[in-house]
Chains A and B, each alone.
Chain A
Amino acid sequence: MNCLEFRRAVGAEPGSDGTALAAHSATCPACARYQREMQDMDRLLGRAMRVDPSAGRRTDAATAPVQARSARSALGRGWAMAASLVAGVLVAAALWVSWPEPSLAAEVLDHAAHEPQSWAMKDIVSRADVADVLDSSGATLRPDAGDVTFARRCFFDRHWVPHLVVQTDAGPVTVFLLGHRDVAGETHLEGDGYEAIVLPAPRGSIAVVGRDVPGLDAVARQVFESVEWRA
């Protein structure tokens, strides 16, 4: 099985786990990541599809009995419906309150660690391609940031975000533009051999991740200054 066959299969059925798929996934990190992204997207899809079209509208038509029934049973159904509505609201409220805020450290460091091939890329990505990846985030990267050797949008904390690898004088760093994620101030993260600096940005935050990069703070600030935001 090649990458195209794998992606066609996974794109149609992200949950499929056949032997051929597993074998390819084990040897191709990019396709393994693609499958994880598709599975994440499917979880989001499942939540998105669970709408309540009957809420606040025409409950007569939405819930009307098919045959005439006694007033007593209708009353019983009314109570049952009210109870289920109350239960639904309570469950939704509980989910809302308890929905886990993904750990920034886990998201940033795990994502960087799961992209080993992104660090190894040597070919320079064209300015046009970098601009394309950054465009929907309303940002551009000045050329003085360094050569970009990896640029794509990745599924990250339920959002598609730009993921770049920039070759700086101190070594390669991974950069995530987390437009959806606000941080109160500069945040340092460490784990699995990676170090990350997350800086508040005009839109959300920017995470800069490195491995054994001396002076990552300064590098992160340099990258941060190289990102320009459209009004």
Chain B
Amino acid sequence: MNDVLRERQRQQRFTAVCEPLRADLLRFAFWLARDRALAEDVVQEAMLRAWKSLDSLDSDAKARPWMLTIVRREHARTFERKRLEVLDVDALVAAEADVLAAEEDAAVAEMREALFRLEDDYREPLVLQVMMGFTTQEIAAHMDLTQGAVLTRLFRARQQLRKALGGAGEEP
């Protein structure tokens, strides 16, 4: 009886804490993988891993960074497992054209394509900062980098986007 109760509480906790993050996780995985199907697989696998190791989450308040870390690792594992080749960005852009499209705003669509073309090392910290609201310290911890390295990547990411959209670049 205690096991049943414990399992039910666990399930309730997962539903309350992890499930609401699914949409954000999927978006994060999409910007990492630049592929919807892959992003869905990564998130589904990450949810399973989170379910299995839910007891290791010591505070519900930490669920978001905890889940993002799981997604990040799962994404890396997926790439390793599938031995994905160097990606053809033009093909990725074409394949995900309907997600990148923003009929109501051409500037948004242009920015999405520019983001797709940004190197992984620059895109990920930018997504964490702008979309997830991480501080540079949190990004450094998440990506196992120094804070200085994060600041450099964020600066370069924005300069590359700026140039891609027709603006002038600054000195690196």
List residues of A whose CB falls within 8 A of some B CB.
4, 7-9, 11-14, 34, 37-38, 41-42, 44-58, 61-64, 66-67, 96, 99, 136-137, 152-155, 158-160, 180
Contacts and interface: CB of A to CB of B under 8 A. Distances in A.
Contacts of A154: 167
A11 B158 contact: yes
Contacts of A57: 36-37, 40
B166 A48 contact: no
Given A8-B155, A47-B105, A53-B26, A41 B161 contact: yes
A158 B165 CA distance: 10
Given A12-B150, A51-B99, 15 more contacts: A8-B155, A12-B136, A13-B129, A13-B151, A42-B130, A45-B111, A48-B102, A49-B127, A50-B131, A53-B26, A53-B40, A53-B99, A136-B166, A159-B107, A160-B165
Given A53-B30, A54-B26, A46 B131 contact: yes
A38 B161 CA distance: 11
B51 interface: yes
Interface in B137-172: 150-152, 154-155, 158-159, 161-162, 165-168, 170-171
B108 interface: yes
B142 to A, nearest CB: 16
Nearest to A67: B11
For the complex of A and B, 10 pairs with smallest distance between CB atoms? A160-B166, A48-B111, A11-B155, A53-B30, A12-B154, A158-B107, A12-B151, A49-B131, A12-B155, A160-B167
A67 B51 contact: yes
Contact of B39 (A8, A34, A42, A53): A53
Nearest to B37: A58
A14 B158 CA distance: 10
B112 interface: yes
B43 interface: yes
A9 to B, nearest CB: 8
13 contacts: A12-B152, A13-B151, A41-B158, A47-B111, A49-B27, A50-B27, A51-B31, A51-B99, A53-B36, A57-B36, A58-B36, A61-B44, A154-B167
B169 to A, nearest CB: 10
B161 A45 contact: yes
A66 B130 contact: no
Contact of B130 (A34, A45, A64): A45
Interface of B: 11, 14, 22-23, 26-27, 29-31, 36-37, 39-41, 43-44, 47-48, 51, 98-100, 102, 104-108, 111-112, 115, 126-127, 129-131, 136, 150-152, 154-155, 158-159, 161-162, 165-168, 170-171
B112 to A, nearest CB: 5
B15 to A, nearest CB: 9
Nearest to A53: B30
Contacts of B159: 11
A191 B100 CA distance: 38
Nearest to B39: A53
Contact of B162 (A13, A41, A47, A55): A41
Contacts of B104: 96, 99
Nearest to A62: B40
A13 B154 contact: yes
Given A45-B126, A53-B36, A4 B108 contact: no
A200 B127 CA distance: 38
Contacts of B112: 48, 51
Contact of B115 (A49, A53, A160): A49
A152 B168 contact: yes
B40 A61 contact: yes
